[in-house]
Structure 1
């Protein structure tokens, strides 16, 4: 649905050149929520502004539903932009207009009749949960309500792509979750493609189907959210995953729980999808003559299913432990033997 090939943006200044986006190629499917994550200066906000040509690319192509927008003349680009809604970090509302009039504004620009505008705006107000606030001004709204206005306004022209540039970073955690739930609901109801730009791994975890990790203008890793969470390949992705799973970098804390005995083995288990709900430890205890000591663990949900990490100590005969490990691996759970924690 969206094909991005060799996309680049070079800023030239008097003293230096800055490669904000460097040869990025991605395919984003119709109806998916695609996340782009990176730390400050990674190029992610420039990347999303290139998609609707709020920034002009230095090189590369962006093809949306068969149209190469990088080659569109400005009059055709204006019409194409009407089908690309955008949500901003700081809302960008018109402070002198009411909620109703803010949402109606893009419809006015598009030349939609007053009666059609009224019907469409009311439909959007109901969709984003702002019924009763039609006559309120932005100064009278909470941050979450302002962003709901921004979402409704972005949907006014029935876009096929919704671009979200740090849409929740100005909100508190509870309000963030409410806005993310709303975006998931909109994605499902409208089959709307959503591109989420964020520096928060929680956002990726909660709503995205796939993710691209950016660093210094490049995409250093991309794939299904579960794959990136469970097996991050790049240093940047590993740092983000550690934000949500502090166990990944606190193995030293295991030492105090481990039995000083040569007949023990410490293992790390990765559970994915339905395996995260399986009573595997109970099965092991019933099947094998081993003692199992659970050291620490965590489980996290994503759009594509849950994933979890569990550290356990196995105590028993060496050959029995070997059979136990084979049994666990055969069950579909990934096993990593930890030897450097003692």
Structure 2
């Protein structure tokens, strides 16, 4: 378990002070994939570098498996860092070394004997799907392959924690999905705790169990990914969620679909888990004397189950519309009536 308490980082220059991280407290469970999301300048990259003390905190503590990183002296910290792997947005590979040698590098530094190094490197090459690329140089690899080398290198010393700082930002969407699938596989096979920094909501949606949202150095919201998706509280979180629902993002587009009638309601319906696979709209149409027009809908998988959002227009008698919406809520879906769109 990782316990982060009152963590802060203040940068002081001759002309100004910048509070990059401001009194952040989080608990991250062993073996989970924890996401930290924020827009540029939110402080998320500084935050992740404070966890392994690549940046020195101004205040607060980081405790990993009952060991306070912030109180460690140089030699103890160096040994502890071997158990904290890190991968980067731009790979940070050694361009004069082959795939094999890049992955072997941290093992060399740790003083692992040559025979054991070879065994470990070949195991990792197979784990990340790079068999046959051992003698290739980084310049001969695609972006996704370079990041796989970075992941293998980060795993070389059997870390307890893997820090991912915008690990997919430089990749195309298909390659991003491949890398995210690899991280999930590693998480399950090795029971590895992963802290993932990103500005992309679909990355959080796809692999994270819980998420913290940062703005101006502070955590403005945190919780289970499904809870954050369904009930975003802060304006920053709402902006991220809107990226996945274009009609919600542009209420003018939504208004273009709506009949300007007193007997019409426009409703946003959230489906979670098994309810996302249920033909509830069909049931409502058969059970109640209402007409339902689907404006937009999507279902997205998360690590905790499916999550769906549906925008519908419901036409009919006001009393019957209310009955149909009450029925949907009683069936376990969340219903939000958009009175003024």
Q: TM-score, normalised by structure 1?
A: 0.97
Q: Hey, what does 1:300 align to over in structure 2?
A: 300
Q: Does 1:283 align with 2:275?
A: no
Please give the residue correspondences for 1:33-182 in structure 2 after superposition, counting only pairs within 5 Å.
33-182=33-182
Asked if 2 retains the 8 angstrom alpha-carbon contact of 1:91 and 1:146, the reply is yes
User: CA 1:10–1:256 in 2, change beyond 3 Å: closer, same or farther?
Assistant: closer
- CA distances 1:58-113 after superposition (whole Å, capped 9, x unpaired): 10000000001110111000110000000011111111111111101111111111
Matches of 1:245 and 1:314, distance apart in 2: 20
Q: Deviations over 1:239-260 (max 9, x none)?
A: 1111121121223223343334
Q: 1:230 to 1:113 in 2, by over 3 A?
A: same
| Distance across 2 between alignment mates of 1:219 and 1:34 | 13
Partner of 2:312: 312
Once residues 140 and 203 of structure 2 are traced to their aligned partners in structure 1, the CA distance between those partners, rounded to angstroms, is: 27
- 2:212 matched residue in structure 1: 212
- Is there any run of 5+ residues in structure 2 with no aligned partner, and where? none
Distance 1:15-1:259 versus aligned 2 partners, 3 A rule: closer
Q: How much does 1:238 deviate?
A: 1.0
Distance 2:258 2:110 in 1: 67
1:22 corresponds to which residue?
A: 22
Tell me the residue number matched to 2:200.
200
Shift of 1:161: 0.1
Give 1:296 shift: 2.1
Aligned-partner Cα distance in 1 for 2:96–2:293: 63
Q: Given that residues 168 and 179 in structure 2 are in contact (C-alpha distance below 8 angstroms), is that contact kept between their aligned partners in structure 1?
A: yes
For the residue of structure 2 that corresponds to 1:257, the secondary structure is coil
Whether contact under 8 Å (1:247, 1:297) holds in the other structure is no
Q: Could you say which residue in structure 2 is the equivalent of 1:248?
A: 248
Question: Corresponding residue for 2:267?
Answer: 267
Quote the Cα distance in structure 2 between the aligned partners of 1:32 and 1:24. 19
May I ask how many residue pairs the two structures share in their alignment?
341
Q: Secondary structure at the match of 2:41?
A: coil
**Residue 51 (structure 1) shift:** 0.3
Q: Once the two structures are superposed, what CA deviation does each residue of 1:282-326 show, in whole Å capped at 9, x if it has no partner?
A: 111121122222222222222212222212222222322222121
Check 1:303–1:190 CA distance in 2 against 1; reply closer, same or farther (3 A cut): same
* Contact 2:6–2:24 (8 Å) recurs in 1: yes
Give distance in 1, aligned partners of 2:280 and 2:142: 46
Q: CA RMSD in A?
A: 1.2
